[in-house]
Amino acid sequence: MVPHLATALSGPLLDLEEKILAATPAIERWFRLEWQEHTPPFYCSVDMRNAGYKLAPVDTNLFPGGFNMLATEMLPLSVQAAMAAIDKYCPDARNLLLIPEITQRHPTYWQNVARLMQIFRQTGLHVRLGSLSPEITQPTPLPLPDGNMLVVEPLVRSPNGRRLGLKDFDPCTILLNNDLSAGIPEILQNIHEQSLLPPLHAGWALRRKSNHLNAYDEVCKKFGKLIGVDPWMLNPLHAKCDAVNFRTGEGYDCLAANIDTLLAKIKKKYKEYGMKEQKPFVIVKPDAGTYGTSILTIKDSSEIKELTQAQRDKMTVIKDGKEVTDFIIQEGVPTFENIDGAVAEPVVYMIDRYVVGGFYRIHAEKGIDQNLNAPGSQYLPLAFAQQHAVPDLKAKPGTAAPNRFYVYGVVARLALLAASLEMERTDPNPEVY
């Protein structure tokens, strides 16, 4: 089943789908050549918006936390991709240390951790969990909703200080599933003899979305030229403002000016494509951070000065209580996909350079122009198991699930490639590339 599009199945997006399907051999060869030059992130998830006239990634997460949402049919593919990823860093690996989030968030997060452990055990690795929490001083059991149990253990540095592990457990590879929003703990610094994946500069303590968006601009220009489409069909316009304080109003002028400029550019694009009904909007969100916090939908720059005290407070602090002053303004891409009347957006998961599945994030109480990564959201696995990598060239555009999901996979891999460039350019030790 192809999830329902609120718009008629016609127009620019179908033209985009047709062009991508027609160019599949060229696209796959292009990706293959790019991966010879660049190393993909160890794993990645990409939130996308299908607007009917545009299909674009709106967030790229290098510490994905929803592997439990993937269809179980995708497990074999996930295991194969994980094998390819591990082989790059430690081909003879025996032990893998997985470091999850410190806080015990929703039980589904720990189900994600359990799924990751399952995937890597199937690659032939012994997997154990080490916690960054100072409260974990001995092996601590964590019950899961399905009746299973995880055990989290305190981290230990080796006597020479150069390795990290657990008591009686020396891993070749350390996998972070913690986005380091609160900063880089000392115990993770100066590890010289093991592969730490993703690298520390992939965490939100150092990473900035603006760097990723700039890299994605470059990737989209090359890809658009390859298949003969306007890069805007795949790429939200964006701008950046530093030193913004929502409590005091400092930096509002920068925000307002950039919002006005961006809205004008979007209107121009709408006019170019004859989209008279569509109303432009932008999303204001932190340049660092995740989990759908501190996000505004803005349709006019005057709205910035009309925020309530509660809204201003919400925009000031992100995950782990960290204050934020740097923001990006991103073209709003409405989602015209819905499932049983509820607004939906696709999220695609990758390990190494391979698409391993995904799901729809669904929210019955949100509008097409709002952030769906919010309390009350639900998840439905994407039907990637149905030959997601083998499009049906005979199908009528817009009617075949394999075609829709293949196109999602292509756009997600564009974001993955942009993340690769971003990581290379922001690496404090670039000689390792």
What's the pLDDT score for residue 319?
A: 60
Residue 221 has pLDDT above 80, yes or no: yes
What's the pLDDT score for residue 396?
A: 64
Window from 234-238, 246-250, 329-333, 384-388 with minimum mean pLDDT: 384-388
Buried b / exposed e along 190-199 (16+ C-beta atoms within 10 A)? ebeebbbbbb
What's the pLDDT score for residue 6?
A: 42
Element (H, E) at 268: helix 252-272
* pLDDT tens sequence across 223-240: 999 999 999 999 999 999
Residue 12 has pLDDT above 60, yes or no: no
What's the pLDDT score for residue 320?
A: 58
What's the pLDDT score for residue 383?
A: 60
Residue 3 has pLDDT above 50, yes or no: no
Taking the C-alpha atoms of residue 209 and residue 327, their distance in angstroms, rounded to an integer, is: 9
When pLDDT is averaged across residues 7-33 and rounded to a whole number, the result is 79
CA distances from residue 198 to 69, 95, 145, 180 in whole angstroms, order as listed: 21, 17, 28, 11
Strand partners, 351: 43, 354
* pLDDT tens sequence across 357-379: 999 999 887 878 777 777 778 88
Window from 22-26, 268-272, 308-312 with minimum mean pLDDT: 308-312
When pLDDT is averaged across residues 16-22 and rounded to a whole number, the result is 88
Contact assessment for residue 120 and residue 127, using Cβ atoms and an 8 Å cutoff: yes
Strand partners, 43: 351
Residue 11 has pLDDT above 60, yes or no: no
Element (H, E) at 88: helix 75-89
What is the pTM (predicted TM-score) of this model? 0.92
Question: Which residue is it, tokens 């593919």?
Answer: 77
What's the pLDDT score for residue 9?
A: 37
With both helix axes pointing from N to C terminus, report the angle between 12-22 and 401-426 in degrees, rounded to the nearest 10. Answer: 80
What's the pLDDT score for residue 107?
A: 82
Strand partners, 153: 130
Strand 173-176 to 337-339 pairing: unpaired
Q: Which CATH architecture has domain 71-205?
A: 3-Layer(aba) Sandwich (3.40)
- Give the burial class of 314: count Cβ atoms within 10 A of its Cβ; 0-12 exposed, 13-18 middle, 19 or more buried: middle
Peptide bond into 198 cis (omega under 30): yes
Contact assessment for residue 201 and residue 427, using Cβ atoms and an 8 Å cutoff: yes
Question: Which residue is it, tokens 């996000």?
Answer: 295
What's the pLDDT score for residue 397?
A: 59
Confidence of residue 146 (pLDDT cuts 50, 70, 90): confident
The segment with the largest mean pLDDT, out of 140-154, 207-221, 299-313, is 207-221
When pLDDT is averaged across residues 202-215 and rounded to a whole number, the result is 95
Q: Where are the domains of the chain?
A: 12-65+209-425, 71-205
Q: What are phi and psi of 356, to 5 degrees?
A: -115, 5
What type of residue sits at position 222? K
What's the pLDDT score for residue 328?
A: 93
- Give the burial class of 245: count Cβ atoms within 10 A of its Cβ; 0-12 exposed, 13-18 middle, 19 or more buried: middle
Q: What are phi and psi of 376, to 5 degrees?
A: 100, -5
Strand 354-363 to 342-351 pairing: antiparallel
What's the pLDDT score for residue 387?
A: 47
Confidence of residue 151 (pLDDT cuts 50, 70, 90): very high
Contact assessment for residue 222 and residue 340, using Cβ atoms and an 8 Å cutoff: no
What's the pLDDT score for residue 7?
A: 40
State the DSSP string of 151-189.
EEEE-EE-TTSS-EEBTTB--SEEEE----TT---GGGS
What's the pLDDT score for residue 214?
A: 97
Taking the C-alpha atoms of residue 386 and residue 379, their distance in angstroms, rounded to an integer, is: 18
In percent, how much of the chain has pLDDT > 90?
Answer: 58
Mean per-residue pLDDT of the chain:
87
Helix H, strand E, coil C: the string for 395-406 is CCCCCCHHHHHH
Contact assessment for residue 206 and residue 188, using Cβ atoms and an 8 Å cutoff: no
Confidence of residue 321 (pLDDT cuts 50, 70, 90): low
Strand 95-99 to 173-176 pairing: parallel
When pLDDT is averaged across residues 279-301 and rounded to a whole number, the result is 84
Taking the C-alpha atoms of residue 15 and residue 375, their distance in angstroms, rounded to an integer, is: 35
Residue 48 has pLDDT above 90, yes or no: yes
